[in-house]
Chains A and B, each alone.
Chain A
Amino acid sequence: MNIAEHSQRRSIPWSLDTFAFDTFGESVDSPVITAGQWHWFKVRHDFPNIIESSIRTALHALGTIQAHNIRSGRTIGIIESPTFTGADWQSLWRSLCGATLEATNPSASSIRNPGQLRTDRLAQIQSAFGFPLQTFAAVLRISRAQLYKWLDPEKGIQLQLESRSRLQQIERVASQWLVQSNAPLSLAAREPLPRGGDIIGMLSCAKFDAASIEEALRYLAAKTADLPESISERMRDRGFSRRPSFRSLPSDE
């Protein structure tokens, strides 16, 4: 189901609120980000995961736009660029999914710092990949120590153009994967590909071959769907459920 089709199916239970985007080429890691540079919007419609991924992919497909954090519960804004204004975003959004953006004025506390935006992006990529940190660092083509710096929301980091570009490429791959599978890519990461090698090798390569990667993702998504169930999954199927931890008890506060 594409976005347009989905937007017509109002019977689906929706539950989302706010969204954010940053324009391609504008670093969300810019050390100076104030409310004035952002356009803040509240969206009235909610999207299941797969639709959210479709929206992200559609935005990527426009070529000049990078979208992230399109999910429930986030307070996000849009960074305006000289060629793309808040009004343009309204119009683009309407054409994509028929939903109306409502301008909002978030409290200062809801405006997250650049480091937080960066770590959110990394967490979102990892939700798609699920790689060990060493592998994730290799894919981003940075050192493990550097990745830990990136993961620290308190650290103000000005990404170099090369790193920023790599991050955006990898972000795009993560979005593509989430459209095809809810499982982490790591489950099939060592699966030999028909043309040789594996996906980690492809993603870690200095030369980024987007078309081949896309083809590999399709192949691996099918493989992932066919993975045999683990023992604990088979146990769950037969009614042997996990005992909830005491930490899940309702708070006594």
Chain B
Amino acid sequence: MGKLTLGERLKNQGWQCGSALPVRLYPQIAQYLGPPHDPPHGVPAPGDWLVVISQSCDLVAPTLEHEPYVEVLWCRAIAKPRTQYFNIRSTRQLDFRPDRQAHPNLVLTTHAAKDRFIVPRSMLDGIRPHSNRRLADTAVRRIQAWLALRFSRPAWPDNFVSRIGAIRDTLTHILETVAEDDIAEVRMALSPRDQELPDSEHYSVAVFFVADEQIWKSRPTQREAIHSAFGRFATALKSCAGVNVDDQLSGVIDGGTFSWQMTQSTDIWNFANLTNRE
């Protein structure tokens, strides 16, 4: 049998996305935990978590030439999740629960830019991940979605964001019904989509509540919840000065009908879209 590659060794040692570095490795790794060209932040406290967020397939790539580094997120414990930072409400800061089963009372916080570092993958060779710390699948998915959203979210004009700022809490409340059950996706077309308009000019928006096809065709009660949320959402938007909701286009649409073309003309609604000036 031939010699194992680095990737195979790391796999055998149990490394995967969501693994946490053992505390004893913190002093050696501290040199990498800082911004480029600046001194490192210091050695993490034993209660801090350093979690690997590279995809598992990258983590176990055969050689260093393929993947020289792993991405690590420095997470610190906090007392409880903060309203503005949990459930991906901010693209900068995330408060999350790493594992409800193993650590029911633990909440961590991390910053997408300040707490994200790359560490030589070779440093993990011969070392096993922390035995008692590991991100649950849910936490891994949440962190991946959070980081992806940071780059994929549309940057709506500040002046548009300001105009709907007053109804933000209302919209959050309305969307809870459809978001938590994952029965519909809210998409919005904005015109102009990237210009700061003076107060004298309107932004036009078309709002679509795209219903899951299966729900659309067979679940009247959930359709009712979607229609109800749409009505309240659209009327709340209409109440904003300088925002013109296109009545002819907006509405609830079957996911089987909502086309690729419409996807390209709309942005998925996410409150992270509004956090650019927090």
Q: Give Cα A182 to B185, complex, Å.
A: 21
Q: Which residue of A lies closest to B219 (CB)?
A: A182
Within 71-109 of B, Cβ neighbours of A (below 8 Å) are at 81, 86-88, 95-97, 100, 107
Instruction: Tell me the nearest residue of chain A to B245, going by C-beta.
Output: A148
**Nearest Cβ distance between residue A116 and chain B, in whole angstroms?**
9
Proximity string of chain B (245-263) to chain A, C-beta cutoff 8 Å, 1 when within and 0 when not? 0011011101110000000
Query: How far is A155 from B238 in the complex, measured between Cα atoms in Å?
Result: 13
Q: Which residues of A contact B (CB under 8 A)?
A: 49, 71-72, 119-120, 122-124, 126-128, 130, 132-134, 144-145, 148, 151-155, 178, 182-184, 187, 230, 232-233, 236, 242, 244-253
B residues engaging A (CB < 8 A)?
A: 81, 86-88, 95-97, 100, 107, 138, 141-142, 145, 179-182, 185, 212-214, 216-221, 223-225, 227-228, 231-232, 234-235, 238, 247-248, 250-252, 254-256
In the bound assembly, the distance between CA atoms of A135 and B46 in angstroms comes to 63
Are the CB atoms of A183 and B218 closer together than 8 Å?
A: yes
**Chain A nearest CB, measured from B16 CB (Å):** 19
A132 touching B180 in the complex, CB below 8 Å, given contacts A233-B213, A242-B212: no
Given contacts A130-B252, A236-B214, A250-B138, contact A145 B224 (CB under 8 A): no
B213 & A230 in contact (Cβ 8 Å cutoff): yes
Contacts of B86 in A (CB 8 A): 251-253
Determine how close the nearest CB of chain B comes to the CB of A182; give it in whole angstroms. Answer: 5
CB-CB under 8 A from A134, the residues of chain B are: 247-248
Give the docked Cα–Cα distance between A21 and B204 (Å).
Answer: 39
Bound CA span A236–B255, Å: 14
Whether the pair B81, A126 counts as a contact (CB closer than 8 A) is no
Residue of A nearest to B178 (CB): A247
When A187-B217, A251-B87 are in contact, do A151 and B235 touch as well, CB less than 8 Å?
yes
Q: List 9 A-B contacts (CB under 8 A).
A: A71-B224, A123-B224, A123-B231, A151-B235, A246-B142, A247-B180, A249-B138, A251-B86, A253-B86
